[in-house]
Structure 1
Amino acid sequence: MRTVSGDTVSWSACIFTLEAFRVSAFSRNVFSARAGECVTPDCDDHGTVLRERQQMSYWFDSEAVSVTYVRDLSAEQALLRMGATISPEGEEEEDEGEIAAFEVDGGVVLAEPNGFAATLDEVIARLSKDTTVATVFYNVNLDQQFVYAENGVVVTAFEPDRPDSRSGGDPDRLLERMRELGMETESDLVKAAELAQIVTGLQLPDDDADPTLIGIMPEYY
């Protein structure tokens, strides 16, 4: 698990960065923003992809979280592709390796507290087969990752605080969108999360939404 404890990063700095990430997805405060059209040919323009947030849900209130947007799959399909075992109870239990799957218009959003499975090449290859996936990861140690994949191939990947250092099969595929967001050479988790929503055309579930399904990942770290 990519988390640390101690004095490496001050607690106030960690809280600030985590709340910044929530601006687009997970903030305790009330924020709003606007994103452009999605770039995939089969998705609708959802317009405003960052909505007002007044509280964190259980699944996003964590020192580390991986949030993955998957087009055109159900919660069950996405969890099985991840390699997760679906919890028969579907209850929010504090178990290691949990992944919450929220079905939304156009696909599913996966939240993995204290995990990073969807940033792994073999996992995102399975998850993105015949569809589009974007993942944003952050932890308390300030590790960050953005990954965009299509049909089993990582198209572009970068650390949101170093967006000019990209890898993947077509690392400049999202460059135009990045420029529109002002993140070609400088970025942050807020813009990375906004980019993930734009390129998939998916929005986060409401704060009070319950997971459609809960999966348990086998240990992978």
Structure 2
Amino acid sequence: MSGTILVGDDWHHDAQPINGVTVTDLHEEFGWLSEFGPFSDVSCVSFVRSLSPVEALTRLGAEVGGIEEATFEELQERTMKCVDSNDMRTSYVGTLEMDGWTVLIQLWWASIAVDRHLLMRLSQATEVVSINRNIHASDFFVYAADGELVTWFDLLGPDARAGSDPDRLVDMMREVGLDPDLDPDLDLDLDVDVDDPDLGTEFPRSFALARKITGFPFSQDMLDMRFLGAMINSR
């Protein structure tokens, strides 16, 4: 794969009804991620285009002989062995192939999104979307292409973007309700309206943004599929 990297195939600028629901409401289908334990605490879900699961895992440093099938429950068990080992360099990645993309899941870990070397290797001659969740620190969205960090932003501060083309995704961000023009001078000491329906929706909205790029949703049904998984070393 070579040449100009495009952001998905079918994304559009104008909010359009889909089955009677506007695009800006579609984040609601990802609400389960905020409530489902393995993803709601610390996790990293990434999407890489035009690579098979084996290709994606080997780019991350996995040994071909170490790639194995796993259920979601086994993925969790193998991840916990990494956590229990206290080796912060090693993590377990589960992968699925969907619609020309490979989905990569890391639980209780976030090495792909936070490790620039892994992200750059994975995105060579293709594109990668990565969503980091860490309720103890910060959640952020990363888009990389051709081995370059294109845009990055904290989900709580989408106005402060970084990367070689930080405005690449702003139209889609608006469509899913991640305001790229958020007022940075907002007084954070103001009382928070606990009844605000948008409060705490940044995480599911990031998956709505990923859907606009990849063309398919990350659904809970995927967790019933067989994964290909392997240990990777971030150093």
Q: TM-score, normalised by structure 1?
A: 0.69
Equivalent residues in 2 for 1:98-109, closer than 5 Å = 98-109=92-103
| Secondary structure of the corresponding residue to residue 217 of structure 1 | strand
In structure 1, what is the Cα distance between the partners aligned to 2:30 and 2:150?
A: 31
Displacement of 1:127 after TM fit?
0.7
| Alignment partner of 1:163 is 2:158 | yes
Partner of residue 121, structure 2: 126
Q: Please list every run of 5 or more consecutive structure 1 residues that lacks an aligned counterpart in the other structure.
A: 1-38
| Secondary structure of the corresponding residue to residue 103 of structure 2 | strand
Which of the pair has the greater relative contact order for Cα pairs under 8 Å at 6+ separation? 2
Equivalent residues in 2 for 1:41-56, closer than 5 Å = 43-44=9-10, 51=29
| Alignment partner of 1:216 is 2:231 | yes
Per mean C-alpha deviation after superposition, the further-off stretch among 168-177 and 195-204 is 195-204
Partner of residue 105, structure 2: 111
Change in Cα spacing, 1:61 to 1:117, as seen in structure 2 (3 Å) is closer
Q: Select 1:196's aligned residue among 198, 207, 210.
A: 210
Q: Is the 8 A contact 1:136 1:145 kept in 2?
A: yes
Partner of residue 69, structure 2: 90
In structure 2, what is the Cα distance between the partners aligned to 1:41 and 1:208?
A: 26
| Secondary structure of the corresponding residue to residue 67 of structure 1 | strand
Partner of residue 176, structure 2: 181
Count of residue pairs brought into register by the alignment: 181
Q: Matched residues, percent identical?
A: 29
In structure 2, what is the Cα distance between the partners aligned to 1:55 and 1:160?
A: 15
Higher helix share: 2
In structure 2, what is the Cα distance between the partners aligned to 1:215 and 1:65?
A: 16
Per mean C-alpha deviation after superposition, the further-off stretch among 60-69 and 145-154 is 60-69
Q: Select 2:42's aligned residue among 52, 55, 64.
A: 64
In structure 2, what is the Cα distance between the partners aligned to 1:174 and 1:118?
A: 20
Per mean C-alpha deviation after superposition, the further-off stretch among 123-132 and 90-99 is 90-99
Larger Rg, first or second structure (1 or 2): 2
Q: Is the 8 A contact 1:65 1:116 kept in 2?
A: yes
| Secondary structure of the corresponding residue to residue 69 of structure 1 | strand
Amino acid at match of 2:151: T
Flag as ranges the 4+ runs of structure 1 deviating above 3 A. 39-42, 47-56, 58-62, 85-89
Displacement of 1:147 after TM fit?
0.5
In structure 1, what is the Cα distance between the partners aligned to 2:146 and 2:100?
A: 17
